[in-house]
C-alpha cells in the first residue's frame, strides 16, 4: 500500500520540481531568447536584451518622439509626411480609449487592424531567411502581399486609400510568442508609395494582456447642459417622437415635427447595444443609435463623440437620423438615454434625446423620444365636440340604414339627401376586414380604415384622413364614392359611435363621416347604422289605408282569386272577377324562393320578395316595378294575361299571412295593386290559397 501511494504521487512531485527549477532559472535551456517549459513554449526576441541580432537595427532610423506616445497601454502612432497619399500628411495616435487595436501572426507574417475614428490595416512580412519572427531591421521591402518572400514586405492602408507599389522597411524592436501565438510586439515601419520621397511612418506597441485595458465599457454621466425639448412642445403623456431642426440643417429643413400614435406609426427595433427607430406618418424617418462595443443593452448615460452609423467608431458608438430622401454623408453628434427599462432582455420603456450635425456644420437636428411598449395607436375618445350629426328633424328608421347628406356644391352627393334601407336597396357590409369597414349601397361604396396597429375598429374619432387607399396608414383613411363619381384627393374624418365584434368579425356598427373633395368646403356627410342579422324584409305591420276588398265582398269557401279593375285600367279593362275551383283551375308554384307564382283564368301573377329573403314574410312590399325587370332589393310584381300586359308598372303587394312546410309554400293570403304606364287607374286583387 505504501509503495502504491508513492508511485501515484510521483507526477505531482515532478511537477513541483519543474516549477521550482523554473523559478530559479534552471531546469531548461535558453538559446537565442527561447525558453521551453513543460506547459508552453515562449519565444522572445528583443533588441534591448543584449542579444546579437541576425538583422542589426541601425540607430538612426525613425521612431516616434518620446513625448508623442502614451507611457503605458497599447497604441498605434502614425506620422505622415506632407505629400504622403496614405496618411494625408497628418499625425494620429490610437489607443484603447477610442480604438480597437488587434494584432496577429502567422509564420513570418504580422497583421494589424485599427478600428476607431479611422480604419487601418497593416501587413508585415519578414524575409524567408529569418526563419521565425524575431527582432531586427528588414529593409528593401515591397508591398505585401505581392512581395518577394525572400525579401519580405510592408503595407499600411485604409480609409479608402492604398499604394499600388511600395518601398520601405520594418523594425521589430521586440516580439514575444507563446505556443506560436503573438503575445506582445514593438514594431516600427516606413513606407513610400509609388516611388515617392514622402513617407508614412508608424510605431506600434501592443501587448495581448492590455488588449482591452482602458476601453470604454459604458456611457458617461449625462451633462446637465445638453439640449432637451422645451416645456409644452411635447405631449405630457403617451408615446411621441419630437424633432427640432435649426435653420440650415439639411435633414430637418429647419422645421419642427411632432409624432404620436394618433398621427403616425412609431416603431422601435432594439437588439443588444443597438436601437432602430422608424416613423411613418406625414413624413417618414429612420434613426440608428449604437452604443459602444461590449454593451449588451442600451444603458442610461451620455454617448458622445459619435460619427455616422454604421461607419462609426465601434469603441464610442454611432448615430444616424435620416428620411424624406435626405441623409448626412458624415456627421458628428451625441445621444442620451435618460431612462431604459427592461423585462429580462426585452426593452419595455425608453426615453432618449439626440443631436446631430451634418458635414461638420453648426446647424443641428435634435430629437426626443418617449416610448413605452403596449401603448397602441387608437382613435380620440371621446370624439371632439361639434362634429356633424344629422339634424334633429331626422328620424332614424328601424333596422339597418345609410343616411347621406350632401352640401350644395359637393361633387359626390350632388347636393342630395338620400336614405337607404333594406326596403329600397341592398346594404352589403364586409365583416372580416382588419380595423376597417367596407360597405356598398345604392350604387355607393364606402371604405373606413383605422390606423395601422389596430386589429379592430374602436369607438372614437379618426381625423385628418386622406383618400383610401392612398392614405397615411398611421392615421387611417376613408373614401365615399360611386355612381360614376369619386374624389381625386380628399380630407375628412369618421367617428365610430359604437361597434361590436364576435370571433373577429364585425357584428354591429354606428358610424358617421364627413369628406371634402379636392380641398372644397362643400362636404359629403353620412351616417351608417348596421347590425348583423337585420336582414331585408317587408314593412310589418303594413301601412294603414292600403286597398282591401270592400265590405260588400263576401269571400267564398276554399281557394279563390278576386280581381278589381278600375275604369281605364288596361289590364283588367274595368271588370271585377272572382275565380274559384268551381269555375277555373288555380295553379300555384309552391317551391319558389320568396316568391309566389299564380295562374288562373288566363291570368298570370308574379309576386317576388326582395333579395335576401328565403321565404315570403308577412308585410308590405312597396315601390315595386314590373317583374322580371324590377329592382331586386325591393322585389317585383306583374299581373298580366289574356293578351294584355304592362310595359312598365308601379305597385305593391301585401302578404297578410303565409305558411311554409319543408321549404314549400302551403298557404298564403295576398293582396296587390298595380298601375300600368304610370296611370292612376289600377288593377287590384286578392289571392287566398291553401294547399
What per-residue string of b and e applies to 481-520 under the rule 16 or more CB within 10 Å gives b?
A: beeebebeebbbbbbbeebeeeeeebebbbbbbbbbbeee
Residue 450 phi, psi dihedral angles, 5° rounding:
-80, 175
Task: Say which residues have a Cβ less than 8 Å from residue 656's Cβ, sequence separation at least 6.
Answer: 618, 669, 670, 671
What single DSSP character describes residue 210? G
Q: Which of 51-60, 359-368, 535-544, 630-639 has the lowest mean pLDDT?
A: 535-544
pLDDT at 33 over 60: no
Grouping H, G, I as helix, E, B as strand and the rest as coil, residue 21 is helix
Please tell me the predicted confidence (pLDDT) of residue 21: 33
Q: In whole angstroms, what is the distance from residue 81 CA to residue 613 CA? A: 94
Written as one string, the DSSP assignment of 409-443 is T-TTTTT-EEEE-TTTS--EEE---TTEEEEEETT
Please tell me the predicted confidence (pLDDT) of residue 32: 36
pLDDT tens digits along 97-152: 999 999 999 999 999 999 999 999 999 999 999 999 999 999 999 999 999 999 99
Strand partners, 337: 301, 352
Task: Say which residues have a Cβ less than 8 Å from residue 605's Cβ, sequence separation at least 6.
Answer: 561, 596, 597, 598, 599, 637, 638, 639, 672, 685, 687
Question: pTM for this structure?
Answer: 0.57
Please tell me the predicted confidence (pLDDT) of residue 5: 35
Please tell me the predicted confidence (pLDDT) of residue 152: 98
| Domain boundaries defined on the chain | 43-210, 240-372, 401-531, 560-690
CB 198 within 8 A of CB 79: no
CB 42 within 8 A of CB 176: yes
pLDDT tens digits along 68-104: 999 999 999 999 999 999 999 999 999 999 999 999 9
What single DSSP character describes residue 198? -
Q: For residue 123, with 0-12 CB atoms within 10 Å meaning exposed, 13-18 middle and 19 or more buried, which class applies?
A: middle
pLDDT band of residue 19 (cuts 50, 70, 90) is very low
pLDDT tens digits along 175-205: 999 999 999 999 999 999 999 999 999 999 9
C-alpha cell at 286: 429612420
Please tell me the predicted confidence (pLDDT) of residue 190: 98
Please tell me the predicted confidence (pLDDT) of residue 1: 34
pLDDT at 15 over 60: no
C-alpha cell at 402: 345609410
C-alpha cell at 86: 496614405
Task: Say which residues have a Cβ less than 8 Å from residue 267's Cβ, sequence separation at least 6.
Answer: 277, 278, 280
| Over residues 433-443, mean pLDDT | 96
pLDDT tens digits along 368-422: 999 998 777 788 888 999 999 999 999 998 889 999 999 999 999 999 999 999 8
Please tell me the predicted confidence (pLDDT) of residue 425: 85
pLDDT at 23 over 60: no
Q: For residue 237, with 0-12 CB atoms within 10 Å meaning exposed, 13-18 middle and 19 or more buried, which class applies?
A: exposed
Strand order in the sheet with 587-589: 576-579, 560-565, 683-690, 664-676, 649-661, 619-626, 636-641, 603-608, 595-600, 587-589
pLDDT at 533 over 80: no
CB 173 within 8 A of CB 48: yes
Report the first-to-last Cα separation within the chain, whole angstroms: 117
Sign, CA dihedral 402-408-410-415, equals: positive
Q: How many residues does the chain have?
A: 691
| Over residues 627-647, mean pLDDT | 94
pLDDT tens digits along 260-306: 887 888 999 999 899 999 999 889 999 999 999 889 999 999 999 99
Please tell me the predicted confidence (pLDDT) of residue 416: 97
Q: For residue 49, with 0-12 CB atoms within 10 Å meaning exposed, 13-18 middle and 19 or more buried, which class applies?
A: exposed
Sign, CA dihedral 619-622-627-630, equals: negative
C-alpha cell at 577: 272577377
C-alpha cell at 367: 430629437
CB 609 within 8 A of CB 618: no
| Over residues 154-165, mean pLDDT | 97
pLDDT tens digits along 37-48: 445 788 888 988
Report the greatest alpha carbon distance in the chain: 144
The rounded percent of the chain whose pLDDT value lies above 70 is 94
CB 323 within 8 A of CB 356: no
CB 239 within 8 A of CB 99: no
Q: In whole angstroms, what is the distance from residue 656 CA to residue 546 CA? A: 12
Sign, CA dihedral 396-425-524-515, equals: positive
Strand partners, 461: 380, 495
Please tell me the predicted confidence (pLDDT) of residue 378: 84
β-pairing verdict for 34-36 and 41-46: antiparallel
The radius of gyration of the chain's CA atoms, rounded to the nearest angstrom, is 46
Amino acid at each position: 500500500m505504501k509503495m502504491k501511494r508513492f508511485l501515484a504521487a510521483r507526477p505531482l512531485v515532478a511537477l513541483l520540481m519543474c516549477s521550482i527549477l523554473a523559478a530559479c532559472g534552471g531546469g531548461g535551456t535558453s538559446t537565442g531568447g527561447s525558453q521551453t517549459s513543460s506547459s508552453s513554449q515562449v519565444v522572445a526576441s528583443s533588441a534591448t536584451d543584449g542579444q546579437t541580432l541576425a538583422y542589426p537595427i541601425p540607430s538612426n532610423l525613425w521612431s516616434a518622439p518620446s513625448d508623442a506616445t502614451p507611457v503605458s497601454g497599447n497604441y498605434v502612432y502614425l506620422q505622415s509626411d506632407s505629400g504622403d497619399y496614405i496618411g494625408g500628411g497628418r499625425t494620429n495616435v490610437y489607443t484603447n480609449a477610442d480604438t480597437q487595436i488587434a494584432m496577429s501572426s502567422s509564420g513570418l507574417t504580422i497583421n494589424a487592424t485599427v478600428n476607431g475614428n479611422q480604419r487601418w490595416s497593416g501587413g508585415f512580412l519578414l524575409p524567408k531567411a529569418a526563419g521565425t519572427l524575431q527582432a531586427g531591421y528588414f529593409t528593401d521591402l515591397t508591398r505585401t502581399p505581392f512581395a518577394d518572400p525572400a525579401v519580405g514586405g510592408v503595407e499600411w492602408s485604409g480609409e479608402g486609400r492604398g499604394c499600388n507599389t511600395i518601398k520601405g522597411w520594418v523594425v521589430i524592436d521586440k516580439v514575444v510568442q507563446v505556443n506560436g501565438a503573438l503575445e506582445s510586439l514593438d514594431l516600427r515601419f516606413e513606407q513610400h508609395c509609388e516611388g515617392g520621397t514622402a513617407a508614412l511612418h508608424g510605431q506600434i506597441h501592443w501587448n495581448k494582456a492590455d488588449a482591452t485595458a482602458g476601453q470604454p465599457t459604458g456611457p458617461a454621466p449625462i451633462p446637465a447642459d445638453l439640449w432637451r425639448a422645451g416645456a409644452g412642445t411635447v405631449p405630457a403623456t403617451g408615446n411621441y417622437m419630437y424633432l427640432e431642426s435649426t435653420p440650415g440643417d439639411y435633414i430637418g429643413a429647419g422645421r419642427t415635427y411632432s409624432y404620436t400614435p394618433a398621427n403616425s406609426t412609431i416603431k422601435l427595433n432594439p437588439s443588444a447595444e443597438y436601437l432602430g427607430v422608424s416613423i411613418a406618418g406625414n413624413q417618414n424617418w429612420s434613426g440608428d443609435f449604437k452604443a459602444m462595443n461590449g454593451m449588451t443593452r442600451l444603458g442610461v448615460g451620455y454617448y458622445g463623440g459619435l460619427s455616422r452609423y454604421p461607419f462609426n467608431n465601434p469603441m464610442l458608438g454611432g448615430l444616424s437620423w435620416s428620411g424624406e430622401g435626405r441623409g448626412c454623408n458624415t456627421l458628428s453628434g451625441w445621444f442620451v438615454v435618460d431612462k431604459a427599462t427592461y423585462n429580462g432582455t426585452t426593452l419595455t420603456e425608453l426615453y432618449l434625446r439626440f443631436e446631430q450635425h451634418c458635414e461638420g456644420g453648426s446647424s443641428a437636428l435634435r430629437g426626443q423620444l418617449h416610448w413605452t411598449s403596449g401603448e397602441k395607436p387608437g382613435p380620440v375618445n371621446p370624439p371632439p365636440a361639434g362634429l356633424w350629426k344629422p339634424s334633429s328633424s331626422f328620424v332614424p328608421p328601424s333596422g339597418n340604414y345609410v343616411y347621406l347628406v350632401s352640401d350644395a356644391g359637393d361633387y359626390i352627393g350632388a347636393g342630395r339627401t338620400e336614405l337607404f334601407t333594406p326596403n329600397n336597396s341592398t346594404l352589403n357590409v364586409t365583416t372580416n376586414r382588419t380595423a376597417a369597414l367596407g360597405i356598398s349601397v345604392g350604387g355607393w361604396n364606402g371604405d373606413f380604415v383605422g390606423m395601422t396597429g389596430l386589429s379592430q375598429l374602436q369607438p372614437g374619432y379618426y381625423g385628418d384622413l386622406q383618400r383610401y387607399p392612398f392614405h397615411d396608414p398611421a392615421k387611417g383613411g376613408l373614401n365615399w364614392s360611386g355612381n360614376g363619381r369619386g374624389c381625386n384627393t380628399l380630407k375628412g374624418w369618421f367617428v365610430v359611435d359604437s361597434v361590436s365584434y364576435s370571433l373577429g368579425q364585425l357584428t354591429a356598427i354606428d358610424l358617421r363621416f364627413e369628406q371634402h373633395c379636392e380641398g372644397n368646403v362643400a362636404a359629403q356627410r353620412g351616417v351608417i347604422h348596421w347590425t348583423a342579422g337585420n336582414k331585408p324584409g317587408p314593412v310589418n305591420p303594413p301601412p294603414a289605408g292600403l286597398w282591401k276588398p270592400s265590405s260588400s265582398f263576401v269571400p267564398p269557401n276554399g281557394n279563390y282569386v278576386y280581381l278589381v279593375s278600375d275604369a281605364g285600367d288596361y289590364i283588367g279593362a274595368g271588370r271585377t272577377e272572382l275565380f274559384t275551383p268551381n269555375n277555373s283551375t288555380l295553379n300555384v308554384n309552391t317551391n319558389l324562393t320568396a316568391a309566389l307564382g299564380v295562374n288562373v283564368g288566363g291570368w298570370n301573377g308574379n309576386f317576388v320578395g326582395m333579395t335576401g329573403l328565403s321565404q315570403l314574410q308577412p308585410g308590405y312590399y312597396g315601390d315595386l316595378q314590373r317583374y322580371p325587370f324590377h329592382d331586386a332589393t325591393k322585389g317585383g310584381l306583374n299581373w298580366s294575361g289574356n293578351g294584355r300586359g304592362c310595359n312598365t308598372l308601379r305597385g305593391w303587394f301585401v302578404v297578410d299571412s303565409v305558411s311554409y312546410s319543408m321549404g314549400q309554400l302551403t298557404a298564403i293570403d295576398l293582396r296587390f295593386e298595380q298601375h300600368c304606364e304610370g296611370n292612376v287607374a289600377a288593377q287590384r286583387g286578392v289571392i287566398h290559397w291553401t294547399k
